Structure 1
């Protein structure tokens, strides 16, 4: 019988979906890994599971313990689901700029949630640094530390990469993903490069991320900003170190909106902003490579977590955008 043994066992093995509209338009097979179908609703379920299980194996997380993390939302959601299933407490520190849907969901799931102002990483009040201090001060607690805990990228090296390889019968020309912690991109890229060094592994980046210029010029600098959440970084995390970057493609917020609304109207896929960046970069690459190539990317989470923003006409108008005509 194919019965999953609880929440954790249901993580992964998500389908690879052909994005029909853009595949037909470009002549390439553009495939999206449907990570929004994980039980916690995002790609971050994978990292959350590996981080907790690694802490258990090392004896760092003991019965009744607390998992503390600084997160833009999705990793925290994955962590609290797994903590509930395993009997741990969960404390989440999140920037107050993140969507109301994610903050409310964390509270509904049972996490203790502390919102803090959004400030740069170098600031002691940055949500990542605040979470580290809280973990250190809390008895019987661990700091998940998703940015620099390489259990994050190992989750994708051991699961996402092998799944993509199997699902495509090894016929992959390119892998693209945006980077926040860098775990999804790096772990998957490392696995795929081992299987076939000719596979192009490309960072898909919004404006405001320094990773684009790091890949292009070898320097951590950025221009502009983005309304996307959970992606874009100003530093090289431990999860990004030694990752194989072949190139980087940048996508504007306006383009991101066009891609997520087209996915919704043409393919019936309701996804968040990072998926718009990912698919946008995949389409740009497809046009560059020409027909006949297979390009794989991540559909990281559902658009339901951004309904009050990316899918709300008033919010978009307040930012100078409008719902695209598709």
Structure 2
């Protein structure tokens, strides 16, 4: 009887050993002891979120109380085809992913919020307070959206050659549109001056209104100093060698540039400039002058280009904040912007707007310069040089002009319509 018991005990030990060796034992033990374990479980929090009490949309990144909560914190995207073909890292901040479709959402929100703090305008007042602005399009769209979301009326003055889809979008958002003939800023009929005059008249007649004044309003560059710049620095983990951007109001390059220079003085600021703009020569030679100003050279308007949103022949209050800190400038032709935009679409699936294309062309040209100077291509720690730029808006608001081959051919920007059957190159080096 004792021998049988000893034999059974031995078999039991062998069986238990097999169970433990195969991992099944762990499951069995956990099942046996589960009644004695605490039923409380510490919640898993997504990376980057907090455990603060609920009550604000920032506690839950994918939950918002207003559409304006989605403004900012846009992703930083590697432009693979340009980075791989040059050996220089080219990254772009995707500002077209803001709810209003452009980087201008940021300043629209902050300028209105600042005016609220000062008591200049009051949300949901009766009658409604009104915001006024003169713009070539994107700021008008952003203001129309933000005004509608925060309880204001918007009145936007546009040059009459603005892409039709921009004016339609502004109008569909409920803003009032006033179109004027494109003239010099010194003319009282310039869209900015008309917007200022209409705002003043509205206020004099007893209304409560705000002239946004994006070209001179210091909240423009301060917004990018406080938001866009820090986001780029954090997303790049402090690795930015060059920042490339065009300038219309100058707010983006001023705000981002001043922030980056404040945290890393060796960051190089590069201005991207389209045809007809005098900023390239201002940076290079200290004189605001464009070749299109030569008698008989101007086609039609002061900024002689198919590109909308950037380029200027005057030093705005925002641009004055950074012009002396800009290290270099790169001139971009319409043809280069058009060509690269098509190649980016084919290689990256990015449908970019005209000013975004100018920024990428300038970044690509800079990368090629760095590539030629091999000693500058690799840092001492073996890391590649990194260029960061801005994708201001998408091609969706440039369908009638920049992305319309017939328009481009008709106005001499393109020799022939691009063929959809053209082979899609793996590597891009268009210039």
What's the CA shift string for 1:253-283, capped at 9, x where partnerless? 0000111111101100001100111000001
Q: Secondary structure at the match of 2:291?
A: coil
What's the CA shift string for 1:55-104, capped at 9, x where partnerless? 11111112321000001111111111111111100000000111000010
Residue 94 of structure 2 is matched in structure 1 by: 34
Q: Secondary structure at the match of 1:118?
A: coil
More strand by percentage:
1
User: Contact 2:271–2:330 (CA<8 Å) still a contact in 1?
Assistant: yes
User: Contact 1:257–1:323 (CA<8 Å) still a contact in 2?
Assistant: no
- C-alpha distance in 1, partners of 2:409/2:330? 27
Of 252, 273, 281, the residue aligned with 2:333 is 252
CA positional deviation for 1:5: 2.6
Whether 2:307 is the aligned partner of 1:228: answer yes
Whether 2:274 is the aligned partner of 1:206: answer yes
Whether 2:366 is the aligned partner of 1:302: answer no
User: Contact 2:306–2:401 (CA<8 Å) still a contact in 1?
Assistant: no
- C-alpha distance in 2, partners of 1:227/1:40? 22
CA positional deviation for 1:155: 1.0
Of 77, 90, 94, the residue aligned with 1:17 is 77
CA positional deviation for 1:46: 0.6
Of 99, 108, 115, the residue aligned with 1:48 is 108
User: Contact 1:31–1:296 (CA<8 Å) still a contact in 2?
Assistant: yes
- C-alpha distance in 2, partners of 1:207/1:308? 20
Q: Which 4+ residue blocks in structure 1 deviate beyond 4 angstroms?
A: 323-326
Larger Cα Rg: Structure 1 or Structure 2?
2
Whether 2:252 is the aligned partner of 1:184: answer yes
- C-alpha distance in 2, partners of 1:148/1:283? 31
Residue 8 of structure 1 is matched in structure 2 by: 68
How big is the alpha-carbon RMSD for the aligned residues of Structure 1 and Structure 2? Answer: 1.1
- C-alpha distance in 2, partners of 1:58/1:263? 44
Q: Secondary structure at the match of 1:32?
A: strand
User: Contact 1:67–1:143 (CA<8 Å) still a contact in 2?
Assistant: yes
Q: Secondary structure at the match of 1:142?
A: strand
Of 80, 83, 96, the residue aligned with 2:160 is 96
- C-alpha distance in 2, partners of 1:267/1:231? 24
Considering Cα pairs closer than 8 Å and 6+ residues apart, tell me whether 1 or 2 has the greater RCO.
1
Structure 2 segments unaligned to the other structure (5+ residues): 1-59, 293-303, 372-376, 378-383, 425-431
CA positional deviation for 1:220: 1.0
Structure 1 segments unaligned to the other structure (5+ residues): none
- C-alpha distance in 1, partners of 2:260/2:328? 15
1:1-326 superposed matches below 5 A: 1-2=60-61, 3-62=63-122, 63=125, 64-138=128-202, 139-224=207-292, 225-243=304-322, 244-290=325-371, 291=377, 292-320=384-412, 321=414, 322-324=416-418
CA positional deviation for 1:307: 1.1
TM-score of the superposed pair, with normalisation by structure 2: 0.74
- C-alpha distance in 1, partners of 2:91/2:65? 29
CA positional deviation for 1:323: 4.3
User: Contact 1:94–1:115 (CA<8 Å) still a contact in 2?
Assistant: yes
Q: Secondary structure at the match of 1:220?
A: coil
Q: How many residues align?
A: 326
What's the CA shift string for 1:188-211, capped at 9, x where partnerless? 000000010100011100011111
User: Contact 1:101–1:305 (CA<8 Å) still a contact in 2?
Assistant: yes
What's the CA shift string for 1:269-303, capped at 9, x where partnerless? 00110011100000111111224210000101010
TM-score of the superposed pair, with normalisation by structure 1: 0.98
